[in-house]
Amino acid sequence: MKVLVLNAGSSSQKSCLYKIPDDAPLQEAPQPLWEGKINWTQDQGGAEIVVEKSTGEKLRETIAGDSRQTQFAYLLQTLTSGKTQVIGDLSEIDVVGHRVVHGGQSYRHSVIITEEVKKAIADLCNLAPAHNPAALAGIDAIEKSLGNVTQIAVFDTSFHATLPDAAAIYPGPYEWVEQGIRRYGFHGISHQYCSQRAAQILGQDLAALRIISCHLGNGASLAAVANGHSIDTTMGFTPLDGLMMGSRCGSIDPGILIYLLRRGDSAESLDYALNKASGLRGISGISSDLPAVITAMNQGNKRAQLAWDIYVHRLKAEIGAMLASLAGLDVLIFTAGIGENSAAIRQAVCEGFGFLGLKIDSEKNQNQPVDADIATPDSTVRVLVIHTQEDWAIAQQCWELVKSR
């Protein structure tokens, strides 16, 4: 089965093509046959296209025009022609899977996309304004280029559909519950993949493990996973809640917002401040990029030091909260850009949990671990660094859904 996966962001569209045997799913993520990305970050309209085949052939082109549909159709052509060709015709694609950030309360699992599903994704655009519209644009673009191929939506919220009410419901007015104002949680595709991969790496039954998954990228969230299900998570109604992030503040006293609104700040300026001008970027005044903050900190920059200190403090505090929800811990997972690459963050966080008997081997931690256990043999908690494979997880879910029909 050939599965095309689309992962749409506001300024880019990542796609990849996987081939999965029809009779049995693969145990480990294969290399995609083809990976393509469109960046819409050019100043003068137009787009940059980067394509790579599993055999190494690469293509990088800037294409003119401002129709995203035309640019996307051009990207798809690189599947069937030129040096990055991997298939003879687009009709060889059996199914297209889309990452959809917000599925609201209706979608607890991946679904085949129908007009009704598209409407539901559109209705949720105000809750995920940077992401859901981009996913819809991807779905439309596929309809135009591939006709009525089966399309599947895989939601970032679905994995958290199992949150108990006590974790999901905000203690605001009860009407909020009826209005759908609750914790949804995000990064579910990554948290679910990493939990399953952890069980696989350790050779243990997922159902027997209490896991805290730390997805630390530009956006960052934790999930507490028991019995293979998410029982608590740090992102909330929107992806703004929880941990300090690259440019998002995470949890803050909501009274600050009332104060700022009464002072005359507009909703738009608060949106910008909380989403774009906070977090590592806001505190350090340097960058939302952790390595740049660390470099400045090592040069004695006080605001960079403060940004680091808050980041680590918030991370430890939220892990502590997940620990209490799980009533214990077997596995701590680090994943995504910071989780996979920053030995310093892993060390600073793990030091805070030494009292549990959690110990990491500093050599293993420094040695760019990938899908590896960095805990010492006598540690009471396994500490895994896992390369998140969201696109592969989407492809697997598509395979399963198509096979179950």
| Closest CB 100 distance from ligand ADP, rounded Å | 16
Active site residue 205: no
Q: Quote the CA–CA distance of 273 and 89 in Å, as a whole number.
A: 47
The residues with which 225 forms a beta bridge, in sequence order, are 211, 230
Q: Is 291 an interacting residue with respect to ligand ADP (CB under 6 A)?
A: yes
| Closest CB 145 distance from ligand ADP, rounded Å | 25
The residues with which 185 forms a beta bridge, in sequence order, are none
Q: Is 290 an interacting residue with respect to ligand ADP (CB under 6 A)?
A: yes
Q: Is 218 an interacting residue with respect to ligand ADP (CB under 6 A)?
A: yes
Q: Is 337 an interacting residue with respect to ligand ADP (CB under 6 A)?
A: yes
SS3 content of the chain, % helix, strand, coil (to 5): 40, 20, 40
If the CB atoms of residues 155 and 399 are measured against ligand ADP, the closer one turns out to be 155
Q: Which residue of this chain has its Cβ atom nearest to ligand ADP in the complex?
A: 337
Single out the segment in contact with ligand ADP by CB under 6 A; choices: 72-80, 224-232, 334-342, 349-357.
334-342
Single out the segment in contact with ligand ADP by CB under 6 A; choices: 33-41, 288-296, 358-366, 369-377.
288-296
If the CB atoms of residues 247 and 379 are measured against ligand ADP, the closer one turns out to be 247
Q: Is 341 an interacting residue with respect to ligand ADP (CB under 6 A)?
A: yes
| Closest CB 183 distance from ligand ADP, rounded Å | 20
3-class secondary structure, 268: helix
Q: Is 347 an interacting residue with respect to ligand ADP (CB under 6 A)?
A: no
Nearest Cα neighbor of 75 from 128, 131, 31, 36 is 36
Place of tokens 């003879």: 88
If the CB atoms of residues 231 and 235 are measured against ligand ADP, the closer one turns out to be 235
Q: Quote the CA–CA distance of 174 and 171 in Å, as a whole number.
A: 8
**From the CB of residue 339, how many other CB atoms can be counted at a distance below 10 Å?**
24
Residue tagged active-site, from 156, 232, 373, 391: 156
**DSSP at 82:** G
Let me know: does 377 contact 364? Beta carbons within 8 Å.
no
Q: Quote the CA–CA distance of 199 and 211 in Å, as a whole number.
A: 10
Of 104, 129, 133, 217, the one binding ligand ADP (CB under 6 A) is: 217
| Closest CB 245 distance from ligand ADP, rounded Å | 8
| Closest CB 77 distance from ligand ADP, rounded Å | 27
Interface pattern 143-182 for ligand ADP (x via CB under 6 A): ----------------------------------------
Let me know: does 35 contact 15? Beta carbons within 8 Å.
yes
Q: Is 246 an interacting residue with respect to ligand ADP (CB under 6 A)?
A: yes
Q: With CB under 6 A as the rule, give the number of residues binding ligand ADP.
A: 12
What is the three-state SS of 282-341? HHHCCCCCHHHHHHHHHCCCHHHHHHHHHHHHHHHHHHHHHHHHHCCCCEEEEEHHHHHH
**From the CB of residue 130, how many other CB atoms can be counted at a distance below 10 Å?**
13
Q: List residues binding ligand ADP (CB under 6 A).
A: 217-219, 246, 289-291, 336-338, 341-342
Catalytic sites, residue numbers = 156
